[in-house]
């Protein structure tokens, strides 16, 4: 017997309404997600947002933490002083930029060189060498600076002894090469401090190199490409996202150069003021002279400069950083 259109067929399953249950599941997942994110969110506001707001408020005051009850609101006078009347601010910035222009390319280049070398299939004992090159990065930076202070000693330092043995020039003794006392050499000496801890960047570069498809190398080799062509046309373009990541971190880290001149010279700027970097000057104003309000304005200026440089780097990344998922 034929069924009328108004009568549903026997045994036909009714559609299950899952909209309500799906919405409930999403709310549950959202609550759990926020619960797991809450420690980070609390920490972000507690250790980043609130201190930044407090430091901006401090920058509007003539504030000495030794006598907080005498704090006086002065508006943007600290900012005006830093931007117009204090000659040490631009000078310390220039010194910091000069040092960054020397140390950053050498540091990134050396890390990439080690990564390429230790990623080669022709190197025996790669795991051992990777460990040995990474181990110095686990040494505290203060200890590293003190070690290199001895290594670069003008009279007995190993570097000068090696140079004298290799070239025959008088590199040791009272007339030795003064790595840490010559304005023209001190930035290169501080760069050596950084090379000591290049292992972290090296490991990241090695990971990126191992992600390059081997089929591309094989195809290029069949087409007659030599090692340099494969490196320049395949390896470098495919690891540019990691190079960009390291560059951003390197720029921000270079702007914060502080520890070496502070440990070696107590922030005096020796030799001839060349190591009085911006962060050293900020520390002196804030914690030596207790000009906390002025120090807060200096900190905000550094944040603004770092933010501008980061934005510029991200803006130029599209011209040289290659992402495989993007269409060109």
Which one, of 182, 180, 176, 183, lies nearest residue 161 by Cα? 176
- Return d(Cα 39, Cα 263) in angstroms, integer: 35
Digit-coded pLDDT (tens) for 47-90: 999 999 999 999 999 999 889 889 999 999 999 999 999 999 99
* Minimum mean pLDDT range among 121-125, 158-162, 323-327: 323-327
Question: Residue 159 pLDDT > 50, yes or no?
Answer: yes
Which one, of 88, 101, 22, 64, lies nearest residue 282 by Cα? 88
Q: What single string gives the DSSP state of each residue in 267-302?
A: TS-TTTTTT--HHHHHHIIIIIS--HHHHHHHHHHH
On whether the CB atoms of residues 201 and 108 are closer than 8 A, the answer is yes
Backbone φ and ψ for 73, nearest 5 degrees, come out as -75, 125
- 87-138+197-317: CATH topology: MetI-like fold (1.10.3720)
3-class DSSP state for residue 106?
helix
Mean pLDDT for the stretch of residues 255-273: 94
Confidence at residue 173, expressed as pLDDT on a 0 to 100 scale: 79
Which one, of 209, 214, 227, 216, lies nearest residue 126 by Cα? 209
Confidence at residue 3, expressed as pLDDT on a 0 to 100 scale: 47
User: In the beta sheet, which residues pair with residue 72?
Assistant: 62
- Return d(Cα 275, Cα 112) in angstroms, integer: 27
Confidence at residue 2, expressed as pLDDT on a 0 to 100 scale: 47
Q: What is the DSSP letter of 12?
A: P
Q: What is the DSSP letter of 177?
A: -
């Amino acid at each position: 017997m034929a069924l009328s259109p108004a009568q549903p067929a026997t045994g036909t399953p009714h559609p299950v309404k899952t909209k309500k249950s799906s919405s409930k599941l999403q709310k549950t997942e959202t609550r759990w997600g926020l619960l797991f994110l809450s420690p980070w969110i609390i920490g972000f506001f507690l250790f980043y947002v609130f201190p930044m707001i407090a430091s901006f408020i401090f920058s509007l005051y003539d504030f000495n933490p030794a006598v907080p009850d005498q704090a006086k609101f002065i508006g943007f006078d600290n900012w005006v002083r830093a931007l117009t009347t204090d000659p040490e601010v631009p000078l310390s910035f220039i010194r910091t930029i000069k040092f960054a222009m020397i140390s950053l390319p050498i540091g990134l280049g050396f890390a990439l060189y080690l990564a390429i070398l230790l990623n080669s299939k022709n190197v025996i004992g790669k795991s051992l060498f990777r460990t040995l090159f990474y181990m110095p990065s686990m040494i505290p930076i203060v200890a590293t600076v003190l070690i290199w202070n001895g290594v670069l000693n003008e009279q007995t330092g190993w570097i000068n002894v090696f140079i004298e043995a290799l070239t025959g020039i008088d590199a040791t003794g009272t007339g030795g090469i003064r790595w840490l006392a010559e304005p023209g050499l001190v930035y290169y000496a501080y760069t050596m401090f950084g090379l000591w801890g290049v292992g972290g960047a090296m490991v990241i570069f090695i990971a990126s190199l191992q992600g390059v498809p081997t089929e591309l190398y094989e195809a290029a080799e069949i087409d007659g490409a030599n090692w340099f062509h494969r490196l320049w046309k395949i390896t470098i373009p495919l690891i540019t996202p990691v190079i960009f990541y390291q560059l951003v971190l390197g720029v921000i880290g270079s702007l914060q150069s502080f520890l070496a001149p502070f440990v070696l010279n107590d922030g005096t700027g020796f030799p001839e003021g060349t190591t009085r970097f911006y962060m050293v000057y900020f520390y002196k104003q804030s914690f030596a002279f207790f000009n906390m309000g002025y120090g807060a304005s200096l900190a905000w200026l550094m944040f603004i400069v770092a933010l501008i440089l980061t934005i510029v780097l991200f803006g130029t990344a599209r011209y040289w950083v290659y992402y495989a998922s993007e269409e060109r």
